[in-house]
Amino acid sequence: MDRSKLYRRFRTLLIANRGEIACRVIRTARAMGLRTVAVYSEADRDAMHVALADEAVLLGPARARDSYLNVERLIEAARKTGAEAVHPGYGFLSENAEFARACFDAGLVFVGPTAGMMTAMGSKSGSKELMEKAGVPLVPGYHGEAQDEATLSKAAERIGFPILVKASAGGGGRGMRIVRSAAELEPAIISAKREAKAAFGDDRMLIEKYVDNPRHIEVQVIGDSHGNLLSLFERECTLQRRHQKVIEEAPSPTLNAAQRETVCAAARKAAGAVNYVGAGTIEFVSDGKDVFFIEMNTRLQVEHPVTELITGVDLVEWQLRVAFGEALPLKQDEIRLNGHAVEARVYAENPTKNFMPSVGKISTWRLPAETGGLRIDAGYREGDTVSPYYDAMLAKMIAWAPTRDVAIERLNRGLEETDVRGIVTNIPFLSALMTHPKVRTNAIDTGFIERELAVLTSAAPAPGELELCAAVAAIASEEQRAGRAQANSPWQTFGWQPVGRRQRSFAFRVGHGPEQKITLNYGSGCSTLLIGERELAFTIAPREGGFDLTLDGVKSSVAAVIDGHELYLRTRNGRFDLHWVDPFGGESEEHVGEDKIAAPLPGTVVAVLAEEGARLDKGAPILTLEVMKMEQTLRAPYAGVLKSIKCKVGDIVQEGVELAVVEASGE
């Protein structure tokens, strides 16, 4: 293959992706003087990456298979805009050898490895065979070509339960299931194949022995077309949910210097087996004693910023320079490890409901400044809409410091100062994770989040009545003074008076809790709050996004967002959603019961798992939806009879639509 066609200088780069990674690539490319081209679906017309690029091309409808996964349309977009190169980002087609080959055939530089390298290393099965020949230690497993149920079942029995059924292509936890008994194997394979086919267009499976109490360690590698291959230290990605990484850090706090050199040398050996060119990641699993190769990701990783912060290397810039045909600017012994970095993935999801994705319009987007070692890679802004068609990641928050403890503190402070409204996010969950004592002491494994989920998602302790009520009154006061209150809003009714003395009573609920009442005295003299038998003086000073409150001699900062009768507060005690109880307007809120078997979000019915008339135990699976590229199984809320199913496989259903009816058994 002519290397001049593979690697050459270019001026216009098309980014075949969306969201945060598209924005990330665009920024570095433009800093290098390149012209950038974005692509988008109909759902992403107003997306952030579209606005950042010099040009943008509509690919097609919202579904990824009709837009971001359509190779012909991507190649045509490059042709239309005069793009000479394509950066695939991660996810979508980033590890698709056919796409890399199509770019080459179209005369485009593919910013990544060749199709041959992808085929060899991008397949988990193929890469294991290659590593076995190269002498790299492997987890016991099956990675053969035969994919029939009998072969996979025999392999599972030979390996011994528990096992891991895993998609040979792709990543991100999609198409992956832990199977602890023979009875669970068949449904796990069917579900994993279906999910892998939808996400990657490839439903081949491999089977591995599931390592108990595992830790996930990976090494960043990058090679050029001149034969140079480097490792840039390792990352620890042990904190996961649904086999998707949540928190990543570099370097690994688990390894000592000797272990670090051993695993990095093994990674270079693994990548060297195919003379790898481009950025990639060699992933390992550790049982606390030994380290085993599990796969190679032939692309950039979501967590690459932690490596950038400890090495001072811009990996996207290096990717582009390798694609230009340049040699890597540093040698292995010139790469220095400096400090510690930790990254948190901010998702639109609800951790209290099994990490159910959240969709809707972002009404408030407040993030801290990127100073003091804090970095934020975002793909959304205030006013953007989170759709049900793509991955739910909104942004990544990364903190660097000289030590791990300080890096964690900086990251947690950044999370605490972040306010995103209009959708549900995992921000409070991330903060709870960062402050968990076992995370601080690194006493974790990949099952930690699952085991500790109840603790990590427990409701914040109820705020003291004094602070809660004072904050409510102060917010209302600030809104009135600033003249920003909406017409007919409850916040308009305080009516601050220059003379005389006035009194007004209010009632609020915290979430769906009981009403809490306060009385505000205002006018001439100091303003006070009457809470039960106690009357407390307070003052406020408005500031951007909230106010400073002094209550009973203690000053604190309060962030606030007001939307009609709803009030969001962030205080030193946590985040709170309050509802103003209108004494004249009545309450007309609709409470949807947990027993309703309805679509939690817009999605596609991919499996019906029970028949009408069947008797069901509580928790029995009824049907499966594909939502945001992940499968969600809806289950019986109680024991009973399945009276009816109101959908069929292939139906596209909207949020809230009733899909099945279960009649309780009365037991």
- State how beta strands 55-60 and 35-41 pair: parallel
The average pLDDT across 542-562 equals 82
Higher pLDDT, 505 or 163: 163
Q: Is the pLDDT of residue 25 over 50?
A: yes
Q: Is the pLDDT of residue 589 over 70?
A: no
- Which of 253-267, 477-491, 529-543, 575-589 is the most confident on average? 253-267
Q: Using the Cα atoms of residue 268, residue 291, residue 191 and residue 189 in order, give the sign of their dihedral.
A: positive
Residues 535 and 386 in one domain: no
Residues 432 and 491 in one domain: no
Residues 253, 232: contact at Cβ < 8 Å?
no
Q: Is residue 41 part of a domain?
A: yes
What does the pLDDT read at residue 592?
36
Residues 409 and 270 in one domain: yes
616-664 pLDDT per residue, tens: 998 899 999 887 667 788 999 889 999 999 999 988 888 788 999 999 8
Residues shown for the chain:
667
**Binning pLDDT at 50, 70 and 90, where does residue 493 land?**
very low
**Termini Cα distance of the chain:** 71
The average pLDDT across 428-457 equals 95
The average pLDDT across 19-47 equals 97
Element counts in the chain: helices (H) and strands (E): 17, 39
CATH number at residue 634: 2.40.50.100
Residues 445 and 469 in one domain: no
Residues 386 and 471 in one domain: no
Structural domain harbouring 341 = 218-456
What does the pLDDT read at residue 464?
59
Q: Is residue 589 part of a domain?
A: no
CATH number at residue 29: 3.40.50.20
Q: Is residue 313 part of a domain?
A: yes
Closest to 53 in 3D by CA, of 17, 5, 1: 17
**Binning pLDDT at 50, 70 and 90, where does residue 591 land?**
very low
Q: Is the pLDDT of residue 373 over 80?
A: yes
**Binning pLDDT at 50, 70 and 90, where does residue 602 land?**
confident
What are the residues facing 248 on neighbouring strands?
Answer: 343
Checking 91-95 for CB contacts under 8 A at 24+ apart, the result is 91/17, 91/21, 91/172, 91/391, 92/16, 92/17, 92/64, 92/68, 93/16, 93/68, 93/69, 94/17, 94/299, 94/300, 95/122, 95/169, 95/170, 95/171, 95/297, 95/298, 95/299
Q: Is 260 a catalytic residue?
A: no
What does the pLDDT read at residue 497?
44
Task: For residue 73, give Cα distances in angstroms to 58, 200, 202.
Answer: 9, 17, 20
What does the pLDDT read at residue 593?
40
Domain boundary (188, 209, 230) is at: 209
Residues 343 and 232 in one domain: yes
Task: Map tokens 């990717």 to a residue.
Answer: 319
What does the pLDDT read at residue 2?
63
Tokens read off for 345: 């993935």
The average pLDDT across 348-376 equals 93
User: How many domains are there within the chain?
Assistant: 5
Q: Is residue 474 part of a domain?
A: yes
Residues 274 and 402 in one domain: yes
Mean pLDDT, all residues of the chain: 87
What does the pLDDT read at residue 200?
76
Other Cβ atoms less than 10 A from the Cβ of 440: the count is 14
Q: Is the pLDDT of residue 480 over 70?
A: no
Q: Is residue 35 part of a domain?
A: yes
The average pLDDT across 124-147 equals 79
What does the pLDDT read at residue 546?
82
Q: Is residue 588 part of a domain?
A: no
Residues 425 and 493 in one domain: no
Lowest mean pLDDT among 217-221, 267-271, 277-281: 267-271
Which of 35, 174, 268, 299 is labelled catalytic?
A: 299
Residues 446 and 542 in one domain: no
Q: Is residue 575 part of a domain?
A: yes
CATH number at residue 252: 3.30.470.20
Other Cβ atoms less than 10 A from the Cβ of 343: the count is 28
Domain boundary (406, 439, 456) is at: 456
What does the pLDDT read at residue 619?
87
Domain boundary (153, 176, 209) is at: 209
What does the pLDDT read at residue 491?
47
Residues 318 and 350 in one domain: yes
**Binning pLDDT at 50, 70 and 90, where does residue 537 land?**
confident
The average pLDDT across 2-28 equals 92
Residues 367 and 513 in one domain: no
By percentage, how much of the chain surpasses pLDDT 90? 55
Task: For residue 256, give Cα distances in angstroms to 139, 213, 291, 444.
Answer: 22, 19, 13, 17
Phi, psi at 423, each rounded to 5°? -135, 165
Residues 441 and 474 in one domain: no
Q: Is residue 91 part of a domain?
A: yes
CATH number at residue 553: 3.30.700.30
What are the residues facing 661 on neighbouring strands?
Answer: 644
Classify residue 140 by its DSSP letter: S
Q: Is the pLDDT of residue 518 over 80?
A: no
What does the pLDDT read at residue 506?
73
CATH number at residue 169: 3.30.1490.20
What does the pLDDT read at residue 567?
81
The average pLDDT across 536-564 equals 81
What does the pLDDT read at residue 486?
46
Task: Map tokens 């159910």 to a residue.
Answer: 356
